[in-house]
A = this chain, B = another copy of it.
Amino acid sequence: MLGIQSVASYLPKGRVDNLEQADRFETDREFVEQKIGVATLPRFEDTDSVVSACVAAFDRLCGKANIDKSEIECVVLCTQNPDKGGLPHNSALVHAALELPEECACFDIGLGCSGYVYGLSVIQSFMAANRMKRGLFFTCDPYSRILDHDDKNTCLLFGDAASVTLISETPRYTLATAKFSTKGAGSDALQKTANGLEMNGRAVFNFALQDVPKQIKRTLVSAELTADDIDLFLLHQGSRFMLENTIKRAGIPAEKAPIRLSATGNTVSSSIPLLLEEELDNRPRRILMSGFGVGLSWATAIYEEVKSS
């Protein structure tokens, strides 16, 4: 059965000091540190791109897993801020940069903060149906490209990052169950406009507090599990205040749900794999992941450790 073998991430070298930004916006530094929960934002510089960040993440993956590039049969890349306006699909550009074989399926998926949970299911099911054995799932959504630099709500929040997950037949974690939901009618809470990214923070907050806990509970019920059976809850790192409240509302023990965005900000579809990479060393037996945001879209999945025989 296919599943997650390894995960690596990449933060671009550029940094924005969020407390200096707070001063610029005449915003209380304590609010930025405690409520948003972000001290530093990694930020693309002129030489960075979705492709270069994905390649850098892949280079780090090669330090963790023994990868023969000639065996990669599938590349899926999740972004809504692609290089070259998404034409060609950026997975093809990564295919070129990594010099992957011709018999390799490549496609992009367009999703925001729910993209990691979705994308894992998409690549695994596509690979399984087409009998592929090794694939790479990339996330990279550089919101810095669309930030309105006069909008403190978004400028203080979003960081740039990339991740890659190796999907293989010798996995450490396999998918047990997943749920996917959409509320397109609420999509104007987070959208790209001619002026850049527009966010209705209140609407996103209410969505995270009302809909996400319900889906987490439904997913546990359908797997016939309770929160006690889960070792690790990886929730999309939207903001500290939103996370604290969503975790509480979902009835998740706080010690099982890391909040760790001080050095990264909200990295959209990369926020969960950033955490996952760090947490894998602790060998959690069961992981629940929940991503939520743009769409509005939310997805929750439970992954289980593969018992070594």
Contact = CB atoms under 8 A, between A and B. Distances in A.
Which interface class (under 10, 10 to 19, 20 to 34, 35 or more) fits A? Answer: 35 or more
Contact of A111 (B80, B107, B121, B294): B107
A192 B84 contact: yes
Contacts of A126: 121-122, 125-126
Given A107-B109, A110-B109, A86 B192 contact: yes
Contact of A102 (B74, B99, B107, B182): B182
A205 interface: no
A112 B84 contact: no
Interface string A226-258: 000000000000000000000000000000000
A297 B178 contact: no
Number of copies: 2
15 contacts: A84-B193, A86-B86, A86-B192, A87-B110, A87-B197, A89-B295, A92-B297, A95-B182, A95-B184, A102-B182, A105-B180, A107-B111, A108-B111, A122-B122, A125-B130
Interface of A: 74-75, 80-82, 84-97, 99-100, 102-112, 118, 121-122, 124-126, 128-130, 146, 178-185, 187, 190-193, 197, 294-297, 299
